[in-house]
Structures are given as structure tokens and as C-alpha cells.
Amino acid sequence: MFELRSKIEQAIINYFLLNPEQERYINELAALLSLDPSNTHKKLLALEAQGFLDSKTQGKVKFFHLNKQYRFLPELKKMFNSRYGLAEQLKKELLQVPGIEQTYIFGSFAQNKMDKDSDIDLLIIGTHSIMQAQKRISPIQNQIGREINVIDMSPDEFKQRQRQNDAFILNVLSKKNIKLI
């Protein structure tokens, strides 16, 4: 099966699970994920041999994309996301930022309704430094190839908007969300 101890393999799997419509060639993906092209090539070929990825060749360039018919895709997605996926990456990084009290992923990602143009919506509540949080989020955003839209709120603002039955807060809390912190 998969060697999920490999950071390169984790990055590639994460990218294609989050971007199932994308096609990337070796050097493009390596540059996007800040990986060594040679090792990226080896992992892409291994993932293709296992059936997780498909490829097509245009001229001399081989493009890789997610094999949506891969029979273990639902199980792999569930297992991968619980251990190595975006939510775990964000949680790990945001726990390093002092003052963050609560964090939620909401919107299309949390509702499993992402399309190729979707971004990741993140609500951060706390007395933290916004710049420090952005500094932790930025590398993840680059790695996954999607924008992470952050909404920062102080605990007082969050409580006040809850008391006022603010439509945005009610929407985030009433629909499916992923609580990170």
C-alpha cells in the first residue's frame, strides 16, 4: 500500500485529494510543493502503479491526476485526512500561536462540497497575533494549492455576535464545520 511515513508521498496525496480536478507534470508539482523533482517523480510513478493516480502524456510531458475510480479512494481519503490532512496540518500549526482559543474550518471543505475553484474558510477566535497566524497558515496554503480565507475575531466580538444571532456566526456553527481548537 502507501508509505505514509514519506513526507513527499504525504504532500502528493494531500495535494491530489484536495485538488481532484488538477493535472500536474512532475516539475510543476515538485515546485508547487517545494519537493525534490527526482524523488517526486519516483513517488508519482509509485502512486500511479498503485492506482491512486492516472497519467496522460502530451508531447514529452507526463501529466498526473487523481484516479477518481481508485477503489480504495473513500477509505484512503478518510484515513489520510484524519492523520495527515489539511485539518491536522492547520491544527498543528495554529496550536503554536499563543492566544488562539477556537478555530473552525467551515464552508465547502467542511461540508465535503469543494469544487476546483473552492477556497478553504477558516474562523479563528482569540487574542492572538493575526500576523503570526498568517505566517503559520501561508506555507500550508502554498502546499495545498488553494487559498485559505481567514476570518479573525476576538472572543468578545464572537460572543457579542452570537448573542445578536449574527447570520454569519449562526451559519458557521449550525452547518457542518470542523473544530480544530
pLDDT recorded at residue 96: 98
Nearest 5 degrees, angle CA 16-CA 65-CA 43? 75
Tens of pLDDT, residue by residue over 51-60, are 999 999 999 9
Is residue 66 exposed (0-12), middle (13-18) or buried (19+ Cβ within 10 Å)?
buried
Q: Are 61 and 71 in contact (CB under 8 A)?
A: no
Tens of pLDDT, residue by residue over 63-115, are 999 999 999 999 888 888 778 889 999 999 999 999 999 999 999 999 988 88
Q: Mean pLDDT throughout 140-149?
A: 91
pTM: 0.80
Q: Identify the residue with better confidence: 130 or 143.
A: 130
| Secondary structure letter of residue 152 according to DSSP | E
- Grid coordinates belonging to 68: 477518481
Tens of pLDDT, residue by residue over 13-52, are 999 998 999 999 999 999 999 999 999 999 999 999 999 9
As a whole number, the mean pLDDT across the chain is 94
Domains of the chain (ranges; CATH) run 7-75 (1.10.10.10), 85-179 (3.30.460.10)
Which helix (DSSP H) or strand (DSSP E) does residue 168 occupy? Answer: helix 167-174
